Amino acid sequence: MVEFSNVSKTYNKDFEALKNINLQIDKGEFVFVVGASGAGKSTFLKLCMREEVPTTGTVTINGFDLNNIKKRKIPYFRRTLGIVFQDFRLIPDMRVYDNVAFALRVTGTKEKEVRRRVTHALSMVGLLGKTQSLPKELSGGEQQRAAIARALVNGPELIIADEPTGNVDPQMSLEIVELLNAINRSEGTTIIMVTHAHDLVKRFDHRIIALKDGEIIADGYDKEQILPTLEEDILAEEHAGYYAAPREMGAVEQFIFSYGKSDDAADAPDAVSDAEPDADPFDDPADEPAEGGDEQ
Amino acid sequence: MSKKTKLRKGKFNLRYLTREGFRNVRTHKLMTVASITVMVSCLILIGGAYLVWVNIQSVIDRVGEQNVIMVFVQDEATKEQEKQLQDQLNSIPNVSSVEYVSREESFSRILYNMGPSAGVMSGMEADFLPNAFKVRISDMDAFPSTVQTIQTLKNVLTVRQNGELASKLSNIQHSISLMGIAVAVILFAVSLFIIANTVRITMFSRSLEISIMKAVGATNRFIRWPFMTEGVIIGIISAIIAYAIIFLMYFGAQKVFAETFAILGNQVIPFEDNMWILAIAYLAVGILTGAFGSGISLARYLKEHGKVVDNE
């Protein structure tokens, strides 16, 4: 279904956005793609949508060899995908019905069939009562559901959701992901969801592909192990310049990050108290002499 | 060989896309008005330049009929003698054509050229005018000798000619024609440039819509058709508005310049003489500029900016 084989993408001859990516996503899978800003998620999406071509390696999606596909065939490839954007991307002066129908009309589908499929898609997302509304008359969550209906209506084999919860409130975010989950289960549609929302990711037991600096640093189902690693990086970014600490500093890093997480400075000693009694948090355990050895 | 997903090709729904073009015109009123304003201005400039050129040409034609000699026939000459004179004129080597102009035709021409001032001639008959032959000369260099030959023929009353003026006016007319063409071409190029830029601004204002179309798998042709329909509609509306304005402007100009032209023994060319050529030209320019302006601008936009993903 989705196969990246030794894929690298370099921009301007010196910036490597993706480095030797190898992954395979099978039909019916639900995959979260996570990573900090600049990790390569956007480039990954662009390659999936054939907006870019890899510098090296091959990308195959839905049976299409995206390296060798002719330009005039690209629209036909995109019709096998459903794409959901963070900013919904509904046409502002078209009603919900027409926004969803649009994805069918580009394929020349007859109006009778359009009506049937649009009704079905809107019922799946719970927007049958809003067919004649304009996007500005909908809430963020409703707009995103309309966008999902548009992504669904062509019966795609793969839905790519690019930060679909980025512009909606937390409650609605959960509903959006649950909706995608339901689509994955009932229709067997493969879902790739790019997201920063780790809290949401934690609530599901789906496969997680973690990107960092253009590389896959984790690919699996162990969210307990994968997500904290990324969260530290995200936190390091947020506190860059003062609190950022290189990973090699072990206990010092632990102290700084645990201090930084708390708003109350008085809580700081609790982090230290988790360590051995009388331990100096600024001591690097690596400097401790080996047991039984004499200092000269 | 990997299995390919069945291509969802489908038919190109012309009716839907044309309806979308009409919808776009209604929906994006501000851009529509801007485009129409620009195109109307350009069409008025081009049409105005053409009408000015046509009138200048007519004045020059009237003042000196460059290679024409009017041979007036004596009143006593019979029909047979007139026929004989015509044959003699035709036999002169430098004569390319001989056309008989009766006194009645001359009188009608004078009345036409006087235009609104022709009223002063009411009640008069054509008797005071002689019959004449309009003789066209091929070689202007042999003009003087040809005139001399004609003057020796029997039944010739008088010969009206002005070789030097005719030659000079011929040069002026040629220059004005070239200038007129150059001005029209420059105006047309400037119009196309302005219209192309206006269309380009429209593309940028519709970038969201275009990116969505690309994301759902619309072909470039599918994206282009509504824009081209929109361009054609704008072109037709602009042509109609420009035509109405130029008609009103010309009507006013006719009144202002009628006296000046009468002094030159001429009249301002009536609008009706050029109404069809102007109408066809306006529609053609409007439709072609609208359609191709939109099509070309969109093609360039899709090549440079037609992206789907636009974040990070």
pLDDT tens-place string over residues B248-282: 999 888 887 777 776 666 677 888 888 899 999 99
As a whole number, the mean pLDDT across chain A is 80
| Whether the predicted pLDDT of A59 surpasses 90 | yes
Q: Is B183 helix (H, G, I), strand (E, B) or coil?
A: helix
Beta bridge partners, A92, equal: none
Nearest residue of B to residue A103 by CA position?
Answer: B216
Q: Is A68 helix (H, G, I), strand (E, B) or coil?
A: coil
Phi, psi (5° rounding) for residue B310? -145, 60
Contact call for A106 and B213, based on CB within 8 A: yes
Size of interface A-B (CB pairs under 8 A): 94
Predicted confidence band of residue B214 (pLDDT cuts 50, 70, 90): confident
Say how far apart CA B21 and CA B225 lie, in whole Å: 8
Q: Which residue is associated with the tokens 């993408």?
A: A9
Predicted confidence band of residue B80 (pLDDT cuts 50, 70, 90): very high
pLDDT of residue B12: 62
Type of residue found at B95: V
Phi, psi (5° rounding) for residue A18? -130, 140
pLDDT of residue A237: 57
Beta bridge partners, A23, equal: A4
Beta bridge partners, A81, equal: A158
CA distance A246 to chain B (A): 25
Say how far apart CA A30 and CA A33 lie, in whole Å: 10
Of B8, B9, B215, the CB nearest to A83: B215
Contact call for B10 and A109, based on CB within 8 A: yes
Which ipTM score applies to this complex?
Answer: 0.70
Say how far apart CA A258 and CA A272 lie, in whole Å: 9
* Buried-exposed string B168-199: b where 16+ CB fall within 10 A, e elsewhere: ebeeebeeeeeebeebbeebbeebbebbbebb
Q: Which of B157, B178, B196, B145 is nearest to B298 (CA)?
A: B196
| Whether the predicted pLDDT of A245 surpasses 50 | no
DSSP state of A245: -
Q: Which of A1, A152, A2 is nearest to A79 (CA)?
A: A152
In this structure, are residues A247 and A212 in contact, taking their beta carbons and an 8 Å threshold? Answer: no
Phi, psi (5° rounding) for residue B160? -105, 120
Of A65, A72, A80, the CB nearest to B2: A65
Of A45, A106, A162, the CB nearest to B218: A106
Beta-carbon count within 10 A of B115 CB? 17
| Whether the predicted pLDDT of B3 surpasses 90 | no
Nearest residue of A to residue B214 by CA position?
Answer: A75
Distances (CA, A) of A86 to A201, B45, B129, B138: 16, 48, 89, 79
Q: A94: Cβ–Cβ under 8 A, 6 or more apart, which residues?
A: A102, A134, A135
pLDDT greater at residue B197 or residue A269:
B197
Say how far apart CA A40 and CA A52 lie, in whole Å: 13
pLDDT of residue A224: 82
Say how far apart CA A215 and CA A162 lie, in whole Å: 19
Q: Which of A261, A227, A232 is nearest to A245 (CA)?
A: A232
Tens of pLDDT, residues A254-290: 444 444 444 444 444 333 334 344 444 334 444 444 4
Q: Which range is most confident: A45-59, B156-170, B289-303? A: A45-59
Contact call for B5 and A63, based on CB within 8 A: yes
Q: How many residues does chain A have?
A: 296
- Token pair, residue B138, equals 């091929």
CA distance B216 to chain A (A): 6
| Whether the predicted pLDDT of A148 surpasses 50 | yes
pLDDT of residue A274: 40
The answer to whether B215 contacts chain A (CB < 8 Å) is yes
The answer to whether A46 contacts chain B (CB < 8 Å) is yes
Mean pLDDT confidence for A215-243: 71
In this structure, are residues A124 and A201 in contact, taking their beta carbons and an 8 Å threshold? Answer: no
In this structure, are residues B231 and B293 in contact, taking their beta carbons and an 8 Å threshold? Answer: yes
Contact call for B217 and A38, based on CB within 8 A: no
| Whether the predicted pLDDT of B95 surpasses 70 | yes
Of A63, A91, A108, the CB nearest to B2: A63
In this structure, are residues B170 and B182 in contact, taking their beta carbons and an 8 Å threshold? Answer: no
Predicted confidence band of residue A135 (pLDDT cuts 50, 70, 90): very high
Which element (helix H / strand E) includes A178? helix A170-187
Phi, psi (5° rounding) for residue A94? -110, 140
Say how far apart CA A40 and CA A54 lie, in whole Å: 13
Mean pLDDT confidence for A151-173: 90
Predicted confidence band of residue A109 (pLDDT cuts 50, 70, 90): confident
Q: Is A15 helix (H, G, I), strand (E, B) or coil?
A: strand
To the nearest 10°, the Cα dihedral for B285, B288, B293, B298? 170
Helices (H), B64-162: 79-91, 103-114, 143-151
As a whole number, the mean pLDDT across chain B is 80
Predicted confidence band of residue A236 (pLDDT cuts 50, 70, 90): low
- Percentage of chain B modeled with pLDDT above 70: 85
Touching B: A residues 108-167, CB under 8 Å = 108-109, 150, 154, 157, 162-163
pLDDT of residue B190: 75
Say how far apart CA A154 and CA A83 lie, in whole Å: 11
Q: A181: Cβ–Cβ under 8 A, 6 or more apart, which residues?
A: A30, A191, A204
User: Is the pTM for the entire model greater than 0.80?
Assistant: no
Tens of pLDDT, residues B13-67: 777 778 878 887 887 788 888 888 888 988 898 888 888 888 877 776 665 555 7
Q: In terms of DSSP bridges, do strands A207-212 and A215-220 run parallel, antiparallel, or are they unpaired?
A: antiparallel
| Residues of chain A contacting residue B209, judged by C-beta atoms under 8 Å apart | 91
pLDDT of residue A199: 84
| Residues of chain A contacting residue B15, judged by C-beta atoms under 8 Å apart | none
- Token pair, residue B241, equals 């508005």
| Residues of chain A contacting residue B312, judged by C-beta atoms under 8 Å apart | 37-38, 41-42
Which element (helix H / strand E) includes B273? none
| Whether the predicted pLDDT of A32 surpasses 90 | yes
DSSP string for A80-129: TEEEE-TT----TTS-HHHHHHHHHHTTT--HHHHHHHHHHHHHHTT-GG
The answer to whether A97 contacts chain B (CB < 8 Å) is no
In this structure, are residues A127 and A51 in contact, taking their beta carbons and an 8 Å threshold? Answer: no
The answer to whether A239 contacts chain B (CB < 8 Å) is no
Contact call for A78 and B311, based on CB within 8 A: no
Beta bridge partners, B68, equal: B136
| Whether the predicted pLDDT of A250 surpasses 80 | no
| Residues of chain A contacting residue B215, judged by C-beta atoms under 8 Å apart | 49, 78, 83, 85, 89
Mean pLDDT confidence for B209-219: 86
Nearest residue of A to residue B6 by CA position?
Answer: A80
Contact call for B309 and A76, based on CB within 8 A: no
pLDDT of residue B58: 78
Q: Which of B225, B218, B221 is nearest to B308 (CA)?
A: B218
pLDDT of residue A287: 44
Contact call for B309 and A45, based on CB within 8 A: yes
CA distance A162 to chain B (A): 9
The answer to whether B30 contacts chain A (CB < 8 Å) is no
DSSP state of A289: P
| Whether the predicted pLDDT of B196 surpasses 50 | yes
- Cβ-in-10-Å burial (0-12, 13-18, 19+) of B23 comes to middle
Tell me how many degrees the CA angle A284-A287-A290 measures, rounded to the nearest 5. 130
Beta bridge partners, A194, equal: A33, A162
| Residues of chain B contacting residue A93, judged by C-beta atoms under 8 Å apart | 27
Contact call for B217 and A107, based on CB within 8 A: yes
The answer to whether A60 contacts chain B (CB < 8 Å) is yes
Per mean pLDDT, which range of A56-70, A257-271, B121-135 is the poorest?
A: A257-271
Per mean pLDDT, which range of A7-16, A147-156, B290-299 is the poorest?
A: B290-299
pLDDT of residue B164: 62
pLDDT of residue A271: 37
Phi, psi (5° rounding) for residue A149? -60, -40
pLDDT greater at residue B264 or residue B119:
B119
pLDDT of residue A282: 38
Say how far apart CA B151 and CA B158 lie, in whole Å: 7
Q: B9: Cβ–Cβ under 8 A, 6 or more apart, which residues?
A: A76, A107, A108
Beta-carbon count within 10 A of A88 CB? 23
Phi, psi (5° rounding) for residue B21? -60, -45
Of A49, A76, A163, the CB nearest to B7: A76
